[in-house]
Amino acid sequence: MSYLAALFPVPKPSETLPLLPLRDIVLLPGITLPVVAGRSRSVASAEASALSSERQLIVAAVRPDAAARLAANETAEVEHLEDLYPIATLATIQRMVRLPMGPIQLILQGQERVRLEQLHLTETAYEVKFQRLPKPNQASEAASATIQALKEAIQSLWREIASLNPNFPEEVLAVLLRGDDPAELAYQTCMLLQLEVEQTQAVLEQDNLESLLRQMLADLSHEVEVQRLRGEILGETKKEIDQQQREFFLRQQLKKIQEELGELEPETQELEELRSRLAAANLPEVAEKQAKRELARLERVGSSSAEGGVIRTYLDWLLEMPWNKIVQDNLDLQNARAVLDADHYGLSKVKDRIIEHLATFRLKQQQQAAQPEISLSPSGERVAPASVKPAQPMAVGTVLCFTGPPGVGKTSLGRSIARALGRPFERISLGGLRDEAELRGHRRTYIGAMPGRIVQALHRAGVKNPVIMLDELDKVGMDYRGDPASVLLEILDPQQNFCFRDLYLDLDFDLSQVFFIGTANDLNRIPAPLLDRLELIELSGYSDQEKEAIALTYLLPRQLEKAGLPLDAVQLPPATLRQVIEFYTREAGVRRLEQQLGALCRKVAVRYAMDQPQPLLIHPEQLEEMLGPKVFLREETRKVPRPGVATGLAWTLAGGDVLFVEAVQLPKGKNLILTGHLGEVMEESAQIAYSYVWSHAAELGIDAKVFRDNSIHIHVPSGAVPKDGPSAGVTMVTAIASLLTGRPVRTDTAMTGEINLSGEVLPIGGVREKVMAACRAGLRRVLLPVQNQKDLVDVPGDVCNQLDYIFCGTIEQVLQNALLPVAEPPAPLLTGDGRPTTMPSRLSGPDPSVPSSQQPATT
Ligand SMILES: Nc1ncnc2c1ncn2[C@@H]1O[C@H](COP(=O)(O)OP(=O)(O)OP(=O)(O)O)[C@@H](O)[C@H]1O
Ligand SMILES: [Mg+2]
């Protein structure tokens, strides 16, 4: 019987206890948990249990679907046994607290596992019939070592977790390490890992102890890994924060040390420095007030702020402006003349004008010096209050302005004037200037605002009376950003310029003591009001002989010095120099010549550096080797006279030039075609010439029918170079008359002059440049308007003597001197006044059906 009983143990009798169903919680044996029961049936069950002597009850987890139903409805209840997981826990109530408003709080301790058998809903509470279950057990005796090993592994992992996590409670660790019941350790581990309901329920249901421990070991290892990673991440973040704290700490220490040593903080030191600079600057009253205001503001905002930076820059400008600093002028005119002569060759008329100007300037200064407003400073400087209006403003037109082609020495003359006066020289290049703010500055409200160029130039000069050169006055532009020319007007006007206001400085500055000099290439492009204020001094181009002299006495020594060579290192015989001028430059000035000489000097410098330190005599043949192939070949004068081609003279910004006018007759149409990039005025000259020849056709021996039946095309090469001006009038008339009469134009003759419909020849400008161009081109005769005869005095003697001049008052005289007779038959007939001419005949004129380039040349 006992044997049978051992084989088939009699099932224990079922027991009945109140049931507390729980959502979201599984109570494991040996674990104590607080829970809250709210629903009336649960509360009644708990109360029933609490009243019993054992205070026992069954705690069962609700399955997910039933849990969802309960969650959705406050009054829903567990209805069937299937709503619950089948394995539950027998628990004892440790404490029960009734909270206001119904629910009760219980502290439950799990005791052992049970299997639910039957659910019974009494009138008010739950009751459940159940069987107690044994503890999870090891499968065999042999497994006990494994169980022990697993238990110890779990405990060591808990130790590691505690070491990774400084907040891990020591008592908890002690409990985990002390207990020797492996199942309890597994349940505690499960609780502490806070697993999901389903996982915890699976732990509760596990009967096999080894499996239970293995499962817990796996979960715990995962947790250790997570903790370790978290530790690493936190460690890195902490390191960064530690570094910042360290720096802060060091800075605090540094500050302390500086205080101990009596060194001021940089910020205070800076303010102190600005204050002492302000005190020493001796600013005019208004400026000083402004500076003090800004200094106070700087103190408020702190100099390390962005605004502080802006204020500091402003104060730097304000304090460094030469409000009262003046250099004494050297008004010794003899000295001035000597300086001008030392720096520039020739230009005697220009130098005279400059000396005259300086003389009046000197007289005016003496007048001003007598004014009481101007006093002597303790240091002996003449000091004038910043905004004193000169008692006698200088007369309009006192600003010097040099005009002329590039490279003739305008800028360098300005420099010489400054040197002669002993004033600093500053140059403001106005080329391409379109923005008014460039001259007048930007308001400080703009980011990166700066003073305008005028104030910048004064700042660089360091005195309030420098020589300021306004270079390239004619290149000032205008657009939506304002009109810089109007600012120039103000600057150059003595009535206004004693209180020039730069928008950045925002204070008046006195410009009346500044010696302004302007330069321009083209007077036509200077606005008239500005032109009114200028005293113009014209510089024209140099002749080849003048260029040779300038090159030898000024340019070559300067370039030798620049190249670091002794003064005799380069020897240029006249023939070589002439070739440099003729084939490597084409200009009115000497800038390119200077560059070419510089190139020669550099070539020689290389030889010197490579151990051949002997002077080098440069022969003309060596030039190609040293400067490369010839850059300019003189435009060959057209050797073969041909009807319809006349040689004119033009004035360009680069000096004078020879220009050809070509006319051909077209078989069709009846108008005038003009090509060659001609300006409006030049086109009108062509029209006048055309009309003149037509209206005088009979006198000239031309069949007027030509004008009705044929077009005439006039072209002025080079086609791409724009040309304008009235002075090609005589050349146009000559070309047309030559074409239609068949009489070629003399190839040794150039001409220039404006014409009108009455047949008069009117004077033109640029005689000197044009005559020099004719000479350069190898021509012999020049036809000029009668009224230009007086201008020949300007032409250098060497040029003047090489040419024959014929002065014409009428077109008739021009044609008479320019046209050759028709050499071939029909023989020229004599007109009434004995001039040779041709009969109006198809034979004598060019055959309209044959292009002019194929016409036989007649001489
Ligand atoms: N008469 C001269 N004597 C000596 N050197 C001269 C003379 N004329 C010009 N130069 C020199 O030629 C060079 C060019 O002159 P500068 O720069 O003054 O020309 P510029 O007239 O101002 O030309 P741009 O119109 O192009 O500004 C300078 O090195 C200058 O010293
Ligand atoms: Mg210049």
**pLDDT per residue as tens digits for the range 328-371:** 888 888 999 999 999 999 888 899 989 998 888 888 777 766 65
Q: What is the pLDDT of residues 754-771, one digit of tens each?
A: 999 999 999 998 888 888
Q: Quick one: pLDDT band at residue 8, thresholds 50, 70, 90?
A: low
Q: List the Cα angle 813/818/821 in 5-degree steps.
A: 105
Residue 201, pLDDT > 90, answer yes
Cis, peptide link before residue 140, omega less than 30° from 0: no
Which residue, among 794, 226, 204, has the nearest Cα to 541 in the 3D structure?
794
Which of 341, 348, 408 has the most ligand 1 atoms within 8 A of CB, as the residue to mutate? Answer: 408
Highest mean pLDDT among 227-241, 416-430, 434-448: 416-430
Reported for 454-457, long-range contacts at CB under 8 A and 24+ positions apart, including other chains, are: 454/428, 454/491, 454/500, 454/502, 454/511, 455/317, 455/321, 455/502, 455/504, 455/505, 455/509, 457/426, 457/427, 457/428
pLDDT band at 582 (very low <50, low <70, confident <90, very high): confident
In 3-state terms, what secondary structure has residue 138? coil
Which of 554, 581, 587, 595 for mutating ligand 1's site (highest number of atoms within 8 Å of CB)? Answer: 554
Q: Give the residue-averaged pLDDT of 839-843.
A: 30
Ligand nearest the Cα atom of residue 591: 1
- pLDDT above 70 covers what percent of the chain? 88
Mean pLDDT of 591-608: 91
Instruction: Compute the distance from residue 760 Cα to the ligand 1 centre, in Å.
Output: 39
Closest ligand to residue 589's CA: 1
Q: Is 770 considered catalytic here? A: yes
Secondary structure of 47-94 as H, E, C letters: HHHHHCCCCEEEEEEECHHHHHHHHHCCCCCCCCHHHECCEEEEEEEE
Q: What integer pLDDT is reported at residue 18 of this predicted model?
A: 93
Whether the Cβ atoms of residue 772 and residue 752 lie closer than 8 Å to each other: no
Q: Is 727 a catalytic residue?
A: yes
Q: Which ligand places an atom closest to the C-alpha of 342? A: 1
Q: What percent of the chain has pLDDT over 90?
A: 35
Rounded to whole angstroms, how far apart are CA atoms 607 and 182?
101
Query: How far is 55 from 327, CA to CA, in rounded Å?
Result: 112
Q: How far apart are CA 780 and CA 41, in angstroms?
A: 136
Residue 600: its H or E element? helix 591-609
**Residue 845's pLDDT is what?**
31
CB 615 within 8 A of CB 570: yes
**684 is written with which tokens?**
């009108």
- Distance in Å, CA 249 to ligand 1 centroid: 65
Give, as one character, the DSSP assignment of residue 208: B
CA distance 535 to 353: 10
| 601-606 contact pairs (CB < 8 A, 24+) | 601/556, 601/559, 601/560, 601/562, 601/563, 601/565, 601/569, 601/570, 602/563, 604/563, 604/565, 604/569, 604/570, 605/563, 605/564, 605/565, 605/569
Give the per-residue pLDDT at 309: 86
Residue 619 token pair? 């022969």
Please give all residues whose beta carbon lies within 6 A of any atom in ligand 1, as ranges: 344-347, 406-412, 519, 521, 550, 554, 589-591, 594
pLDDT value at position 107? 92
Q: Which element (helix H / strand E) includes 239?
A: helix 209-261
pLDDT number for residue 381: 44
Residue range 780-816, pLDDT digits in tens: 899 999 999 988 888 877 777 888 999 999 999 999 9
Say what the pLDDT of residue 654 is: 65
Q: What is the whole-number distance in angstroms between the Cα of residue 454 and the centre of ligand 2?
A: 18
Which residues are bridge partners to 712 per DSSP? 665, 672
For residue 40, which amino acid is it?
A: S
Q: Give yes or no for a contact between 745 and 818, defined as CB atoms under 8 angstroms apart.
A: yes
CA 11 to CA 16: how far, in whole Å? Answer: 15
> Which residue, judged by its Cα, is nearest atom 13 of ligand 1?
591
Cα–Cα dist 369/360, whole Å? 14
Of 151, 547, 723, 770, the catalytic one is: 770
Residue 92 pLDDT greater than 90, yes or no: yes
Residue-wise over 205-216: b if at least 16 C-beta within 10 A, else e?
bbeebbebbbbb
161-175 pLDDT per residue, tens? 888 888 888 888 888
Mean pLDDT of the chain: 83
Report which protein residue has its CA nearest ligand 1's atom 10. Answer: 409
What's the confidence (pLDDT) of residue 844? 30
User: What is the reported pLDDT for 830?
Assistant: 38
Amino acid at site 159: R
Q: Is pLDDT at 838 greater than 80 in this prediction?
A: no
Q: 778 pLDDT band (50/70/90 cuts)?
A: confident
Crossing angle of helices 333-343 and 410-421, in 10° steps, is 140
Closest C-alpha among 250, 215, 204 to residue 91: 204
Tell which wins on pLDDT, 74 or 508.
Answer: 508
Q: What is the pLDDT of residue 594?
A: 94
Amino acid letter, 832? G
Taking a C-beta distance cutoff of 8 angstroms, is the pair 712, 739 a contact? yes
Model confidence at 840, in pLDDT bands (50, 70, 90)?
very low
Q: How far is CA 588 from the centre of its chain?
A: 36
Return all residues near 342 (Cβ < 8 A) that are at least 6 apart.
Answer: none
Whether the pLDDT of residue 676 is over 50: the answer is yes
**Cα of 413 from ligand 1 centre, angstroms:** 8
Where would I find the beta strands (DSSP E) of 612-667?
A: 616-617, 645-652, 655-666
Tell me how far the alpha carbon of residue 808 lies from the centroid of ligand 2, in angstroms.
Answer: 37
- Burial (0-12, 13-18, 19+ Cβ within 10 Å), 609: exposed
Rounded distance between C-alpha atoms, residue 265 and residue 627, angstroms: 63
Which residue is closest in CA terms to ligand 1's atom 15?
Answer: 409
Residue that is written with structure tokens 């810089």 in the block: 484
Bigger pLDDT: 111 vs 479:
111
> pLDDT for 270-321, tens place per residue?
888 888 888 888 888 899 999 999 998 888 877 777 788 889 899 999 999 9
Q: Which residues does 670 contact at the CB level (< 8 Å), separation at least 6?
A: 707, 708, 709, 710, 711
Q: How far apart are CA 150 and CA 138, in angstroms?
A: 12
Q: Taking each helix axis from N to C terminus, what angle separates 182-193 and 170-178, rounded to the nearest 10 degrees?
A: 150
| Full DSSP string of 251-287 | HHHHHHHHHHHTPPPHHHHHHHHHHHHHHHH---HHH
Q: Indicate which atom in ligand 1 lies nearest the CA of residue 409.
A: 18
Q: Quick one: 185 exposed, middle or buried, by C-beta within 10 A (0-12, 13-18, 19+)?
A: buried
* 705/795 Cα distance (integer angstroms): 45
Give the residue with greater pLDDT, 258 vs 436: 436
Taking Cα atoms as reference points, which of 836, 841, 815, 847 lies closest to residue 826? 841
User: Mapping DSSP to helix (H, G, I), strand (E, B) and coil, where does residue 712 land?
Assistant: strand
Taking only the tens place, the pLDDT of each residue in 14-59 is: 889 999 999 888 999 999 999 988 888 999 999 899 888 889 999 9
Lowest mean pLDDT among 494-498, 553-557, 710-714: 494-498
Catalytic residue among 727, 738, 844, 852: 727
Measured between alpha carbons, how far is 444 from 435 in angstroms, rounded to an integer? 17
How far from each other are the two terminal CA atoms of the chain, in whole angstroms? 163
Look up the pTM and report it: 0.58
Using DSSP's 3-state secondary structure scheme, residue 810 falls into strand
Cα Rg for the chain, rounded, in angstroms? 55
Alpha carbon 13 to chain centroid, angstroms: 97
What is the C-alpha separation between 457 and 455, in angstroms, rounded?
5
Please, which contacts does 35-42 make with residues 24 or more away whose CB atoms are closer than 8 Å? Answer: 35/59, 35/105, 35/106, 35/108, 36/99, 36/103, 36/104, 36/105, 36/106, 37/103, 37/104, 37/106, 38/102, 38/103, 39/74, 39/75, 39/77, 40/124, 41/77, 41/121, 41/124, 41/125, 41/126, 42/126
Higher pLDDT, 258 or 590: 590
Strands of 672-675's sheet, edge to edge?
672-675, 711-715, 655-666, 645-652, 749-751, 781-785, 804-808
pLDDT in tens, 725-759: 888 999 999 999 999 998 999 988 999 999 999 99
CA of 340 to the centre of ligand 2 (A): 17
Tokens of 295: 């200094």
